[in-house]
Structure 1
């Protein structure tokens, strides 16, 4: 992220605006995800603000379809229009380098520096709109939804890992692309299983009913986690610890879901276990396999 030649001490500088946008993105993540916040702190200073910028935009879009907009009295059509506007503002901000929406401004700066384009952004917004109209998924719609809602987010982060601070963006290696997609898919399927009761009761959605049994979903998660674990050591060194923590937190969740006999209580990883997972990554531990 550059200041385009403005003076650092100028209170009206773009540098100050960029930093304020980054701070806003960091505040969104701190408010919504303690686990992600813990993992992101283990990123090096090169990729850390960019990953926060990505997740802040993702979080804001997700909130449009997951309750707050409806609680404010918006209809599905009005929520869809807001998503349309947010997507277009994102493209416009990437093109012009500025947005009055601080979260969009932060994301656009990351997209410009790291080579994140509409091929990744558009599928994400497609999946967000899907939440406004689809209540039960079959295997094909599940896979399309997971690609847009999770796999492309992993691919955006991979663009950051490879390109942040490096000049002209390059295309990541194919094995890293596959690992990023499979890690994103595993994260999403874990969330689907863990939040199934809430999604059905509060949102009227079932992402898994017509796709496969609980055991088959967990087997798929384990396979995706194992594939991702194999390529995490190939990531830049300032990214590996954080991705290992995120991977291992979800591997632990998957293991606890497999052991659980209840489908109503929300499974979580206790704080002492989270800290142990983080400590293991800090000292250089490799990602654990898919099964706990």
Structure 2
């Protein structure tokens, strides 16, 4: 389904470098380079800075997942659904699009790599981490590895050194990704991901698409309509669902199609990212960014100046109500697929869904002032969400499907 690691945009980390490096201590026996990480302290954000080194090959390859030009206009949803179908077919075949790689690393070093990923997940996504403990050891280690890769990727454009990141830096990161899938990890954390993708039917395309989302953040700060925004949300958050479903697995008793489960995971990513955007309007505006559809703002009678000035008017409240309604529709769509995951994998996803949806409630409680008031879910509500999420995780796919259709 989806790891709860979609970017928070405006919130940068300020972790002391000495503390950060503790997360990436590497045994002197390892043949991998050590890594440097910078982390966000927010549960939903993604944040690790990959080490850029002079010995890292620089390639300016830009890989696009969009189909070739056609005579008819193809919507973003259609483009993304083509990726969904590809991932679903791969999962059905239980094979990778590239040849499986036998890494044969030192077993102790590989264990240390996965343990380090687990420590990072525990530190920066506590609620989600607790849920992963119910998974089988192999699956939870794989999820931790994917979690860390996504955090590191987002930190390139949303971390302390974001102002120094150029398209060529993303080129180098994408080349590292290619090497990772080919069984040539650059550092310890890469090695955990490389081992993961060799064991599960995880395709490289969603990873490449996430990097493409980082490129979008370097190139643009406005979105003309929801079609453009939807594609961005897929790149930076929906991709995580496509990465993680093959690891989490689909319940054998589920009657849902593989495609529908992947589509639901995509919907949760879109819902989470839309929620991030609505929560962070003020922070994004302070950085000169507006992640809201321009045409819908204009239709509501709201100017960019209104956003930059943080004007909470009746027009703004009405506009926010429509945006929240859309996000909740995606959450509702996501619910249809959560219970189709293997039972041991459902708890962290239900926790993610319930907690993120609560952020929308907090925006409403703040009278739609998301300029100066940050909608946060308190620790008490997070703790309360855990048993509720666990209870839902016990519901069989058939029972949940019946409930949703009532």
TM range (shorter): 0.7 to 0.9
CA distance in 1, matches of 2:207, 2:323: 27
Give ranges in structure 1 of 5+ residues lacking alignment.
7-12, 164-171
Q: Superposition pairs for residues 245-264 of structure 1, below 5 Å?
A: 245-261=351-367, 262-263=369-370, 264=372
CA distance in 1, matches of 2:295, 2:109: 46
1:225 aligns with 2:331: yes
Quick one: structure 1 residues 235 and 5, their matched pair in 2 at CA, closer, same or farther if it must change by over 3 Å? closer
Q: Superposition pairs for residues 240-279 of structure 1, below 5 Å?
A: 240-261=346-367, 262-263=369-370, 264-279=372-387
Partner of residue 289, structure 2: 205
Q: Which moved more, 1:31-40 or 1:180-189?
A: 31-40
1:37 aligns with 2:133: no
Structure 1 residue 272: Cα displacement: 1.2
Report SS of the residue matched to 1:265.
Answer: coil
Q: Which moved more, 1:118-127 or 1:37-46?
A: 37-46
Quick one: structure 1 residues 136 and 41, their matched pair in 2 at CA, closer, same or farther if it must change by over 3 Å? farther
Q: Which moved more, 1:29-38 or 1:184-193?
A: 29-38
Runs of at least 4 residues off by over 4 Å? 284-287
Bigger share in helix: 1
CA distance in 1, matches of 2:295, 2:190: 34
Q: How many residues align?
A: 267
TM-score (norm: length of structure 2):
0.60
If asked which structure has higher relative contact order (CA below 8 Å, sep 6+), I would say 2
Q: Superposition pairs for residues 14-25 of structure 1, below 5 Å?
A: 14-25=106-117
Partner of residue 173, structure 1: 258
1:85 aligns with 2:172: yes
Quick one: structure 1 residues 89 and 76, their matched pair in 2 at CA, closer, same or farther if it must change by over 3 Å? closer
Aligned 8 A contact 1:51 1:157 in 2:
yes
Give ranges in structure 2 of 5+ residues lacking alignment.
1-101, 251-256, 297-318
2:219 to 115, 133, 136: 133
1:115 aligns with 2:221: no
Q: Superposition pairs for residues 147-186 of structure 1, below 5 Å?
A: 147-162=234-249, 173-186=258-271
Quick one: structure 1 residues 84 and 136, their matched pair in 2 at CA, closer, same or farther if it must change by over 3 Å? same
Quick one: structure 1 residues 44 and 242, their matched pair in 2 at CA, closer, same or farther if it must change by over 3 Å? farther
Structure 1 residue 196: Cα displacement: 1.7
Larger Rg: 2
RMSD, aligned CA: 2.7
